[in-house]
Amino acid sequence: MSEDLFKGPATRHEQWQHSAHLARATWITPQQLCPPGRRLVVVAPHPDDEILACGGLLASLRGREADLLLISVTDGEASHPGSQHWTEYRLRRQRPQESRNALHKLGLDVQTLNWQRLSLKDTAVARDEAFLVNHLSQLLRADDQLLCTWRGDGHCDHEAVGRACAQAAQAKSVALLEVPVWAWYWAEPEDTRLPWERAYKVQLDADALQRKQQAITAHVSQLETDGERPPVLPAETLECLMQPFELVFR
């Protein structure tokens, strides 16, 4: 992560409620964004990013698993550096299983889901960015809707994935959606660093929102304290990510 962005406290949900930029963002439904027959390709830097970024949208696609391709770029093994409890060895196995449990809680049929795990090195995706661009370019179809983390999100892997997806999308003339995850933590409600002119709010119904909330609880490693260390996912940021919409830059 970019340390300077995370020096201060997390921006709280109540503060975001007063954002004029957020209020002006255009509403869009999951069906408008990804109508039946159109494939959604979700590229998640770490196990949990697919839930945090677009768990509600994914829940809206249950029964349409054939229209979904999920790509997990890393296994998330670097989330607890130096931890004796959550070692890299343990996290490589734990976090993908948490993702599997979370997808099940969304109501998706994980057995039939097209889910690729690339197992690139956590916190070093930029090193394999060219590989990721090439891999995506071979997978993408012209009518796909590609979704990934935002290029300016503040985490090195989120940004590398965003750059790779943007490059592949341009090369294949594919529609791209970028989703802020960590920006909810460090950005301010009227922050000009966010591309508000491209902002849309994907409307979530009560069922999709509830399923997303349940799915987040599957990521136990990211929600528990580790000795004196606080959880990886701050409560303030989780509250922002569990609003009845998902913010995307289109």
Judge if pTM exceeds 0.85.
yes
Mean pLDDT of 231-245: 97
Q: Are the CB atoms for 245 and 20 separated by under 8 Å?
A: no
Query: How many alpha carbons fall within 13 Å on the CB side of residue 152?
Result: 12
Mean pLDDT estimate for the chain:
96
Mean pLDDT of 38-46: 98
Of 73, 52, 62, give the one whose Cα is nearest residue 118.
73
Please report the domains of the chain, with CATH numbers, ordered by start residue.
Answer: 39-249 (3.40.50.10320)
Q: Per residue in 182-217, pLDDT tens?
A: 999 999 999 999 999 999 999 999 999 999 999 999
CA–CA separation, 231 and 97 (whole Å): 19
Q: Are the CB atoms for 144 and 114 separated by under 8 Å?
A: no
- Judged by phi (left if over 0) then psi (alpha if -120 to 50, else beta), residue 168 lies in alpha
CA–CA separation, 70 and 116 (whole Å): 6
Q: Does residue 2 have a pLDDT over 70?
A: no
